[in-house]
Every structure is written in structure tokens, then in C-alpha cells.
Structure 1
Amino acid sequence: MPRRLQRCVIHIGTEKTGTSSIQQFLAANRRKLAAEGVLYPRYTGARQGSQWGFVAAVADDVWRTGIGARLGIHSEHVRTRFAERFKSGIDEEVRRFRKGQTLLISCEHFHSRLVTRAMILKLKDLLDNWVREYQIIVYFRRQDRVAISKYSTALKTGYTNPAILHAFNTNQLPYYYNYSAIYENWAEVFGASVMRAGLFERSEFIQGDLIKDFCDKANLRLTGQLRQGRANESLSERGVEVFRRLNKHWPQAIEGSRNPVRDALVNVLSKLYNGKNYPVSRWEAEAFFNQFRDCNEKLACQAFPGRDRPLFSCNFDDYPVEQPWRN
């Protein structure tokens, strides 16, 4: 029978809300967190800190995703073996963690890959092996800004001309951007009382600091912890053009494996050309965002009751008036 901790803090993203910065902060402070009674597991989260293993163990058809490829999972049979090893690995970490009472896990793919209540329930069933109670932390960002950030990520990944904004049937919104549905699914499985939601806007953070805000929500001490710069930032206008041109010549993989030379170049160029880009016009961004007004209003009632102003700014002045030229 594995040891059970008192609580589990689950940071579920969403994607493009500073998750990499939070995870790198947590990974850099594993020992200090452990001294305070908080276990941030190393199993599949040793480098940058994102706990992909929890997603891979419970998500449907994970072998068809980039997570499966990164973890060497290419079939259900392999995933079953991975899940068994993963559970044993976390069992061992929890067993060796004798003084603490909190398990903390963070993965942006909780948002993007666990898209049904059934999958979220499988995660809870897995975590019930090690913990008694839960706290869920989630941040939400204005949908058009998420789409622009995804565009930068797609370019870094190797796409030469990725899509930016889409038109959707407002009666059947994509789950990725349907924040009300996301919140509802997690609240249904874990309970509305354990949900801690925030907005990904500097003005909404405690002292304008995302890490301070996250630590407050997770009841973590920040004093004395190592701080790092922001991670996985978007590309500047020049960076977008550099990646669009060079992606035509850089192979994403060599003989079925990731191209390490390209990965190294991506890291260098991402730091050199970080910044902001606005590849769509003001009216395109606003039209995209308007598709989600109803679900955002519903989210406000669910997660931010009593708030007397809209969740997201309606100012789109940072976008160009005319549609930018793209070849």
C-alpha cells in the first residue's frame, strides 16, 4: 500500500499562460520545496519540469500525440507498460518523501489533452493512490492572445505557414478555447470548492508577478526561492520571419528522431528574437475573440462570482488596423 499524502495541488495550465516559467521555477526549487514539505516529482519532469507522465498515463490515444512520441509510446501496449512503470516511479518518490504532506504537479497538457471528464476522472483515480484531497489551479488568457502565442510555438516546432485564427460554430466551440467547459469538467470531477482560477494578465497578478501569484494560490513560500527569467516567450516580428523562412530548410527529424541541431538553433533563435508579433489585423482578432463571449460570461459566473467587470479587456489597439502581409 503506497504512502498517502494529505493534499495534491494540480496546476492544469491552461496552455500559453506562463506554464513553462512556473514549471522551471518549481524544478529549480525542488530541494527547497521538499524542505517545506512539498514534493514536485522528477519522474518525466526532471528537466523543464512539466509532468507529462501523468497525462501519458491516462489520456486516450496518447501514442498519436507529440507527448507519446517524446516518451517513446507508440501503441496501447507500450502505454500500458509505461503507465505501470510510471506508477511505480511515483510510488517510490512518495515513499521516500517522508516528511512532507503535499504533492504538486504541473502540466499544461492537462488542459489540451485531458478533454473529457472520463480522462480527468482517470487522473483522479490515479492520484487517489497517493493523496487525500485536492486543489486545482488554472489560469485563463484572452483567446486571441492564446492563438497568437500558439502561432509562435508552431513556428518554433517547424511549421512553415501555420494557421493563426479560425472561425467556429459558436454552438460547438473547440474545447481548447472553451474555458467554461474546461472549468466545468474539472470542477465536476474534483469539486467546485477546490478550484482556484486566475486570469493571465499582469494587472491581475499579485504585485504584477505571475510566480508570486501562483505561489499564493498554491500556498507556497516564495522567500529564498530561486527565480529565473520568463520561459517560452513569443517571437518578435523579425523572429516570425526568420522561422518561417528557415523552417523550409530545417528538417524536424532525422531518421525518425528529433534533429538535435535544429533543437539547438531553435533555443538560440528563440532567445535572440523573443518579443511580440501581430500577424492579424485588429478586426480579425476581435472577430475571433467575439466567438467566445458567451462562454467567457459563463466562466465569469462559474469561477469569478461577484466580479464587477469583464474577465478580459476589450481593447485591441495593439493589433494593426490593416491585415499584415503574409506570403
Structure 2
Amino acid sequence: MARTIFHVGTHKTGTTSIQQFAAKNRRQLRNRGLLYPGYKLINRSPHYAHHDFAHVVAGASSKKLKQNDDIKFVNAISANAKATDTVLLSAEPAYRHRIPVNHEHGNIWEERDAYVKRLSEVLKPLDPEICIVLRSRDGFAKSLYQEKVKATSFSGNFQEFLEYDYWYFEYEHQIEIFSKYFKEVKVCVFEDISKFGDDFISGFFNLLGVNVSGLDMPPIANIGFAPELVDLNRYFNKHSTSLKQRKMIRNLLESFAESGSFKSEHIRSSWASEDFMQHFLSRFADQDEKTLKRLAHSIDRDTLFPNRTPIQSVFSGLSCEDIPKLCLMLLTHAKMQEIEQRKA
């Protein structure tokens, strides 16, 4: 039986880069003993990751897969994997999906438990190890907040996000649920992975026991926004009227950020203050002592995460004067894009 690893994220820990690398080098990796299966195994449209698989397990809608395709996909992997292969599946939505168990009084952890249980039942023929990558919560929260504003209609501020999505940061609780249904759960720290290779991607695959030297590396995925652009995106979310509008704005903001046309005058944090962040992080100290003992790799410190740099400057939000200035810069960028496209 092939060894199977299910990489469940978390979000904002280089997952897209890992997935795009594995998809791009699928054939070369297979020659090195790593099977990164695609949906073509069941005659479905390809995707660089296995998000749709995670969605279907939850009973959610999917663009690529249909109902029961999750089971068909697992069976197809079983039929195609050699006993000497390592099978890699990667889908960070498995870290957040929930299955409702009580519509009147829904409990997040009961719903997470129900999802992971269902996931284990679907994956049973592969008997997978779970690989979970954790990131220091200060950076994780900022990146996840940005992604939520970019990818959804969320228009709350950073503090509201922390209260609304608090359970994303309960790392030990998440691990305990996976451990309840899977025999082995490997825990890695995002900030340490590059130490195990020449870069983050080679470090990740080295930890899995797969040599990826000499293969093409993908460009950096999901370039971060400056706090000002995140706040502008939040402003648009609050006032836009359709999904189409939000998608158009998100694409324009991403292009604007990638162009380097806007840079913050100072590196400023979304956290309200150093004291506020320290209070937030201290809530998880007992949990992190337990998680530290679970690490699948060695570290040279006695804390789960490396020491962080204290907050120097705080971003308190866009002013009424800032918003029209940024909108004008965005419109100018859109016009320049249009001119370049015409020339091409």
C-alpha cells in the first residue's frame, strides 16, 4: 500500500506555491516516487490543488467535481498508486470546512468534528497521514484577514475578524480533532520549513522525504496587500452590490499591488497595539506547550514559534482624505493597463 499524505494547510502557509509546484512538475515528481493525483483520473477538469475534493466531502458545491466524486477519486488513486509511491493530496479548505449537525444551535467544534470524521471515512482506503503547517498567529491573522477581505464580501475591521473567526487560531484543538480520526498527524512550523532545504518548497518536500532539486519553482503566489489596500478593499466590499463587482475590484487591486505602484510610507501593523496582540497571543500559551511536543521536525528553541519583532507602528484605517486619493491611483493604474493591452 502506498504512503499517503494529506496536506491540510493551514491557510496562508505557502499552500498555493506548494500546490502549483506539484501540479507543474507532476510527471517529474512521479518519476521520483511522488504521485500528485489530478482529477483527470476520474475524467474531471484539472485543478492545481484538491480544494474541490475537500468541498465535496463537506457536501458543498464544487466547480470541478460532482456529488460522490470524492469517493470515486479516492478509489482511482488507490488503483493507480504503486506500493512504492508517496501520494500527496493538498487542500487547505480541509482546515476550515464544517458539516452542520444542529441547525438551531450550531457548534463550530461539533461541526468541525463531523467534517473531519467524514473526511476520514472517505480517505479510509488510503489510510493517510495528516500534514498540518502552523504559522505564528500574529502573521497568520494579518494574512488571513487580508485573504478574507479579498476573497469574500467581509467588510469588518481586523478586530471584528479576530472575534468572528477566532477558531482558526485554536491550533491544538484542530490537531486534536484530526488526531481523533487519523492515526498520524505531522505538525510543522511554517517559519522553520525553509531551513530544511534551499527554499520553502524544497524544505517542505524534504520533510516529506521527496527530493525536488532541479525542478522548476513557481513564482510567489498571492502577493500581500499593504494595510491601506486591504482597508480600501474592505470599503469596496461594504459598498459594492454584486459578486461580479467585487471580483473586478479584487483583480484590479491585485494587479495594482503586483505593479509596485503603491507602497506604504511605513511598515504598519493591523494590530491595534503591541499590548493588544500580546494579550491575544497569551490566550494560546497552554495549547502551544502541547503542540510543541507534536512537531515532526527539530527546532533550536523552547517555544513553538520563533521570537517576533515588536510592533513599531499601527495602521488605524484610511481617512476620508485617503480614500479618494487611493481610488484615483487605482483608476490611473486601470487606465494604464488598458493602454498596454491595446498596444499588445
Return 194-203 or 292-301, whichever deviates more: 194-203
CA contact (8 A) 1:167 1:288 kept: no
Q: Map 1:177-188 to 2 at 5 A.
A: 177-188=169-180
Query: Which whole-Å deviations, capped at 9, do the CAs of 1:270-319 have from their partners, x for residues lacking one?
Result: 42359875222322222222222221122113437986511124434244
Mapping 1:16-165, distance limit 5 Å: 16-43=12-39, 46-47=46-47, 49-59=48-58, 62-63=59-60, 68=61, 70-71=62-63, 82-92=66-76, 95=79, 101-113=85-97, 116-129=112-125, 131=126, 133-157=127-151, 159=153, 161-165=155-159
> Structure 2 vs 1, CA of residues 251 and 190 (structure 1 numbering), >3 Å: closer, same or farther?
same
Secondary structure, in 3 states, of the residue corresponding to 1:201?
Answer: helix
Equivalent residue pairs, number: 296
Long gaps (5+) in structure 2: 99-108, 320-344
Q: Does 1:226 align with 2:216?
A: yes
**Alpha carbons of structure 1 residues 218 and 302: separation in structure 2 relative to 1, 3 Å:** closer
Distance 1:316 1:10, change over 3 A: same
- Which one has more relative contact order, counting CA pairs under 8 Å at least 6 apart? 1
Q: Deviations over 1:132-164 (max 9, x none)?
A: x43322111121221111221123225474331
Q: In proportion to residue count, which structure has more helix?
A: 2
Q: TM-score, normalised by structure 1?
A: 0.75
RMSD: 3.5
Deviation string for 1:151-202 (max 9, x for gaps)?
2112322547433135989xxx9432111111222223222xx332211115
Report the residue type matching 1:300 in the other structure: L
Contact 1:286 1:316 in 2 (8 A): no
Alignment partner of 1:299 is 2:299: no
Distance 1:8 1:279 in 2: 38
Is 1:213 the counterpart of 2:212 in the alignment? Answer: no
Q: Answer whether contact 2:145 2:158 (CA < 8 A) is retained.
A: yes
* Structure 1 counterpart of 2:215, one-letter code: Q
Is the contact between residue 54 and residue 123 of structure 1 (CA under 8 Å) also seen in structure 2? no
* TM-score computed with the length of structure 2 as normaliser: 0.72
Change (3 A) 1:289 1:272: farther
Corresponding residue of 1:279 = 270
CA–CA separation in structure 2 for the residues paired with 1:158 and 1:119: 22
Q: 1:46 to 1:309 in 2, by over 3 A?
A: same
Aligned-partner Cα distance in 2 for 1:288–1:208: 33
Distance in 2 of aligned mates of 1:250 and 1:166: 20
User: CA separation of 1:124/1:58 partners in 2, compared to 1, >3 Å: closer, same or farther?
Assistant: same
Aligned equivalents of 1:202 and 1:229: distance in 2? Answer: 20
Matches within 5 A, 1:238-257: 238-247=228-237, 252-254=242-244
Name the aligned partner's letter for residue 146 of structure 2: S
Tell me which residue corresponds to 1:10. 6
Higher Rg: 2
Sequence identity, in percent? 22
Structure 1 runs not aligned, ≥5 long: 73-80
